[in-house]
Every structure is written in structure tokens, then in C-alpha cells.
Chain A
Amino acid sequence: MAEAVKQPLPVLVIGGSMVFLSYLITGIGLGSVYAIIALGYSMVYGIAKMLNFAHGDVIMIGAYVAFFALSRYNLPAVAAVLLAIAVCTTLGVLIERLAYKPLRQATSLSVLITAIGVSYFLQNMAQLLWSSSPKIFSSIVGNRSLTLFDGKMSIAYINILTIITCIVIMIVLTLFINNTKIGRAMRACSEDKDAAKLMGINVNKTISITFAIGSGLAAIASVLLCSTYPSVYPTLGSMPGIKAFTAAVFGGIGSIPGAFVGGLLLGIIENLSKAYISTQLSDAIVFAVLIIVLLIKPTGILGKKVNEKV
């Protein structure tokens, strides 16, 4: 039995396992958002071998675009999402062309600092254009919950939507990478750029496409993120960015299933430790688990072991 209600729940004696389940599902929802962001991080890392710290700020831009589309221009949700994807994809490609492409031969640290510069730039531009006063995002599926077991458990629809979206993205992306020409080119570039070039692959174009996909995913993530946690503000992307980066490393950076697994685990650990241990220490716990995982598997859960060449 399932029905949508917007009424306060009667205060019932709720079974421990039900409570656990609802924390778990919220955690999976949060983890799915991390996973989508982490996919962007991971793909870019796999191919361009750079940590794109501006990725979180692309999410922020996506959130603002979707917010204005929904609240100021009253566009339908689908149009808002598409618009956000279009803007973020363009922005991602633009950033890559202007800031990262000239540094293809430079050290990875130079690229890292440039990415940080881009991140500062986007945050401060957002503040200048849209002010630092936060805006409240109205959820694309409304604030309703699915209630199960006679009201003993409720799951927000947005959680369900997030989880489904994440799984769909995961499947589509895997098929794309394995079965299309561009996907194969991407894999070739991540294995060996020079060899890929010799095989007639346009490396620059492939990297651009990777950035486009990663940024598009960031736009989707931004809409899902803000539908759950509704404040939109200029530094919105920083924390999810760091968390998603952690998730990507957790699962094995460069690996697509790794990003998925890492994101989900991170979300679950974070939410359960908030619920059962301490809200103040949840970040410490997440990072402690990360360290333990990396000590046992130094390249992450699903990461490839790279043999050193002598």
C-alpha cells in the first residue's frame, strides 16, 4: 500500500529496522548524487589525468540556471534541466579550451592551480551576478513523500528519482564507453594518449567530449542536489565537490563503476554516522573510512593496480 500524503505523521512507535531503512535510503539518495558528480571527476581524471577542482562550481552554475528557469521564468522542470545541461556543457567545454588546453604539456600541479583559479573565478562571478543571498530551489517533483507500511516509513520522491537517475546514467554511460566509437576513443586516450594519437584518434576532441559529458552530469546532479537540499548560493559546489572527489578516490579514480560504488558508500556512511554516531563527527568518520580503505586497497575499491615501469 502506498499513497502520497502531506499530512503530519501520527507519532507511532516506529520499529528500529524501519528507522534504519529510512536512514539507509536517504543515504543512498545522497550517495547517488555524489556518484553522479564523482563520475564527472573520474572520467576527466581518467583521460586528462587532472584533478578538476572547478567541477563543484560547474554544479553551482547548473543550480543557478535551473533555479532561474524554474522560479523566474516558470519553465517546466524538464526544460529547466535541459537548459542547465546545455549551459553546463558549454561552460565545461569553454573552461577546458581556455584554461586547461594550453596546459596540456604542463605539470599536473600547474593544471591543478589553474583549476583552483577557475573555481575562485566562478564562485566570485556568481556572487557578483546573483549576490550571495541564498535562493531557495523548489524541488522538481514537489516536496512529497511515498509512505509505506501504514505510515511507518516514508521516502521522499526526490530520493527515488535520484536513485533511478543515477542507475540509468550508470548503465547508459557504461554502454556508451564500451560500445560506441567515441567511447572507445575515450578508453584509448585514458590508456595511452600517444598511442591513441597514432591510431588516428583526435585526442583534443576526445578530451573536449569528456569534459562535455562530465559537465552535463554535473548539471543533472545540481538539479537533484538542490531538489533535496534547497539552498542555492555561490559556494554551493565546494563541499559536494570535495565529497565527490573523495568518493571517486574511494572507488578507484578513473573507474566508472568505482565512482558509482564510491559515491553510494560515501553517502550511506555519512548518513548513518550522522544518525547513529554523531552529527558533528560524520565528516571525520567518512574520511577515516576512506583512509582505512586506501590502506587496504591503495588504489581504491575498484581501482586498477598500476605497475611501475622500470
Chain B
Amino acid sequence: MKKSNLLNKLFDKQHKKQTVSYLIVIFAYVILEALLKTGNISSLFKNLLVPCTCYIVAALALNLCVGLSGELSLGHAGFMSIGAFTAVCLSGLLAGTLTNAVLRLVIVIIIGAAVSAFFGFLIGIPVLKLQGDYLAIVTLAFCQIIVSLINNVYFGFDEKGLQFSFIENKLNLSSSGKILIGGPIGASGTQRISTFTVGIVLIIISLIVIYNLMDSRNGRAIMAARDNRIAALSVGIDVTRTKMLAFVISAALAGAAGALYGLNFSTLTPAKFGFNQSILLLVYVVLGGLGNITGTIISASVLYVLPELLRSFESYRMIIYSLVLIGIMLISNNKFFKEKLAELKTRRFNRTHSKEAE
């Protein structure tokens, strides 16, 4: 009896979507992990697993901002870069004292997320005063500023302690020292400690955070403020506060994604996190559907893998990729197509209803 109650709850109208997204992630994990363990997976695909989880988490973070909170951000790559560089530096510093790689990974991801959340808060103060496309351009501007600042940071350590310089490389490290960030060259020689399992756990944590937020009072306030700001204000919702909440959580998740990403590659350049990266995330979100969590997970994984699958087309592959992008947008917004879809939906709706009537 109890069991069926739980099942009912999991698959009732309100929670069905959520359950489906958890199930998809777990199902994918089990299959891929089985393939990994049995060695039935290609080297290429193995290399794609961790970055793919990073992009899924980052895209989920952006969807929280764009889809649920309704604020178009063109600067989420900036938060990723904060998380990534924080994590790479910390991991480099802790490598000697904390030898357990997984523990170190978890700790630096948490700190990376916290630092990114802090910056999200700072940036949120001015940004959330603006609206629409003006907000978008300011987030873009912040992202460019972050990248250009990291481009000029030189940071390293040796047995005497930490050294830091800005714009010019004035580090004077002893031979046993290590440069953690070398300006535009970024971080190199990073120990690669990110794992697929941690990536999947991070996706599940993001899902829990986002779904709980959506179901909470705060979440409803966020969506109310998105749908009609003035109406939300008039019923006493503190719009700036609720939006800030979504923005900071989004920044934290993007930072965590960045941390995982940074520790998956032995080199990391600040230029990687420019405008194009932010746009890439936005593409994942829009194609997955604004506010559609499951859609985001699927679109991020497919679109991340797609250019690799198109390798056999050689130099034509990015052209195909761009045509796929335009094609999906045109088809999904096509009137005829939409009508057909609506028809399908109503037919199914009728069917379920007639069943219920029985």
C-alpha cells in the first residue's frame, strides 16, 4: 500500500516530469558506466563524458536564470571561468596535503561554487536593476571583464609561499615552485582528477536544487516575477530579492560546472570562457526548451557530442552543425508543424481523459 503511494506520488501530475529527468540521468549513468567497466566504449566517447556532464550542469544553471527567472544572461561562461580557475588553483595548492583525489575534487568544487556564487551576488546587485536586453549586455560585459582580468593574473607558489602579480609576470619562483595561473596562457599541468561519477552526482544535485527551488514559495515568486513583474510587485513579492536568489544559485551551479571542467583538462586558458562559450550554453538551453529541465539535459548532451559525430564530414561539419541549428529553430517554430503537434496533444489528452472517465 505504502509502496504504491510512493509510486503514485512519483508519477503524479506534479512530479512526473521530475521523476523522468532523474530516471534519464540514472539510466544513462548505469549504461555508460557498464560500458566503461567492460571496456566497450571508444576513447573518443570516454573523453567526452566528463565535459558533457559539465556542460549539462552549466546549461541547467543557465536555464534557471533564463528559463525560470526570465533574465537573459550572456555571461554564464564568466561564472564557469571563476569556478574553473578557483578549482585549478586550489587543487594545485592542496595536491601535496590532500592526496585523496576524490575528496579534493569535491572540496574544490564546493569552494569553486561558493566563490562563483559570491561573484554572482556582487554582479547581481547592479545587473538585476536592469531589464531585458540591457541586462543581457551587462552580463556579457561582466563576462568579458572577468576573462580579461584572469588574462592578466599571474599566480604561483613555492616553498616560501604564494606569489601574485597583475598585468606583468613578476613571479620569481624557485625551481620547486609551480605557476598556477600564467596570465593568458592560463593554467597548465593540472592534475586531471574529475570523474564521470562526480559529474553525474553534480547533475543530480543540480536537479534537486532546481526542482526544490521551483516547488518552493521562493520559486513560485521567481516565476511570478518573470511572468508579470508589476503584478508580482503588487502582491508584495520582493522581485529583486527573488531574482537575486535565482541568479546566485545559477552562478553557484555554473561555478561548480566550471570547477569540474577545469580539473578535467591539463590545460585551461581564460580565452576559452569568452562570448562564444556563453552563446554555446544559451544554444543548449533554447534548444532544450526554456524552463524545460529534461530538455536541457538532452539538448546539452546531444549538441555537445554532435560536432564530434560529424568528424567524418571534415571541414563541412561546422556548416552542417549550423544548418542543424537553424533547421531546428525553423521547424520548431513552423506554423504547420505546431498545429500538427497541438493536434497530437489534444488527441492524447482526450484519450487519457476518456480513460479516466471509465
Contacts and interface: CB of A to CB of B under 8 A. Distances in A.
A128 interface: yes
Identify whether the interface residues of B are mostly helix, strand, loop, or mixed.
Answer: helix
Interface residues of B, number: 45
A110 B129 contact: no
Contacts of B41: none
A111 B140 CA distance: 18
A76 interface: no
A128 B316 contact: yes
A287 B290 CA distance: 28
Interface in B86-102: none
Scoring B72, B130, B133, B330 by chain A CB atoms within 10 A of each residue's CB, the highest score goes to: B133
B230 A121 contact: no
Contacts of A299: 134
B30 interface: no
A280 B167 contact: yes
Contacts of B138: 290-291, 294
A42 to B, nearest CB: 12
B181 to A, nearest CB: 14
Given A103-B330, A110-B333, A116 B145 contact: no
Given A280-B167, A308-B229, A117 B329 contact: yes
Interface residues of A, number: 48
Given A125-B319, A284-B144, A298-B134, A310 B230 contact: yes
Interface in B252-277: 275
Contact of B137 (A99, A113, A245): A245
A278 interface: yes
Given A99-B330, A102-B330, A298-B134, A116 B283 contact: yes
A103 B318 contact: no
A90 interface: no
A113 B283 contact: yes
Interface stretch (B147-155, B196-204, B213-221): B147-155
Given A118-B326, A124-B319, A280 B126 contact: no
Contacts of A112: 282, 286
A121 B145 CA distance: 28
A127 interface: yes
Nearest to A288: B145
A102 B144 contact: no
Contacts of B330: 99, 102-103, 114
Contacts of B326: 99, 114, 117-118, 121
A68 interface: no
A36 B279 CA distance: 25
B319 A128 contact: yes
Given A287-B144, A294-B138, A120 B325 contact: yes
Contacts of A111: 329
A158 interface: no
Interface of A: 45, 51, 53, 99, 102-103, 105-107, 109-114, 116-121, 123-125, 127-128, 238, 242, 245-246, 249, 253, 278, 280-281, 283-284, 287-288, 290-291, 294-295, 298-300, 308, 310
25 contacts: A45-B133, A99-B326, A102-B334, A107-B290, A109-B72, A109-B290, A111-B329, A114-B325, A114-B330, A116-B279, A117-B326, A120-B321, A120-B325, A280-B151, A281-B148, A283-B144, A283-B148, A284-B145, A287-B144, A288-B141, A290-B138, A291-B141, A295-B130, A299-B134, A308-B230
Given A103-B330, A117-B326, A120-B318, 9 more contacts: A45-B133, A110-B332, A113-B286, A117-B325, A120-B322, A238-B275, A283-B145, A287-B140, A290-B138
